[in-house]
Structure 1
Amino acid sequence: ISPDDIRVDVYHASGPGGQGVNTTDSAVRVTHFPSGIVVTCQNERSQIQNKAACMQILKARLYEIELEKRAEALDEIRGPKTTIGFGNQIRSYVLYPYQMVKDLRSGVETSNVEAVLDDGDLDPFVIGYHRWATGNADAESQSA
């Protein structure tokens, strides 16, 4: 944290404290200009300890803000999330009375269940999803 980005104010602490409570400026208020965060501390007996506590709290709050920004950026990259539940599935696997794997988004289906389950042959589904997703993107851009 740059010293130019903060303002440190000191003032009298409030509450019980004996004879010296009104004679020492031990409470500290730190204002961070870029984010607008204000942190106050008057728990400790000395101004130095209170300032150190304020700086720790300020760093923690700035760190939380940075984590939220990164999480929002990741959510934007990942796309919308749906709840995991019945009716939100991507693929349907039918093993009895007949065998079939069907992608419910793109409509791609195959009867070679062993290749999908044992060998992990998902290429037709990936290609089908890509075609489906680009087709939906084209439809959305035309309607806008």
Structure 2
Amino acid sequence: MNTKNLIWKNLDAQEIKDADHLFFSWLSDNTSLTKKLKQKFPDFSVNVLSQIEGKAYDNEIDLIQSQDDCIIREVELLGNQQAIVFARSIIPITNDTKDLLTIGSKPLGEILFNDTSIVRGQLQITQLGEIWGRRSTFTIGQTKLLVSEFFLEALYA
């Protein structure tokens, strides 16, 4: 999924008034998406599509405020053996994030929401055709990382 040129807006109920209430409940939930998906799908799993070192897109760099090389991690979150969410994470390579760089197929959300010292930033939303997405930063120590999640049609089927 190409997320390079998407337009993101801060989450505001007025901004997504056209969205179905099902979308809104997923977009606006500030709790762990991993936990919510595990409750809905007993066979929940993570399929790592890629995890490479590289440069983030300009709109991502603006949020994480880092020009450093990053790990760009793209995964599918699976339920009922289908992709239900596409996620793209931008993780700057710093001492604060070194433990995240070797998680393999473990859900990033489990780590981010199980550490009370990690602070979540403002939720932003976007729409790509029929697909709604959201993103937010997470601050670990002095480092901001970015997690973008796109809710696929199979999630609502």
TM-score after normalising by structure 2? 0.22
Q: Which has the higher contact order (CA 8 A, sep 6+)?
A: 2
Larger proportion of helix: 1
TM-score by length of 1: 0.24
Question: Which protein is richer in strand relative to its size?
Answer: 2
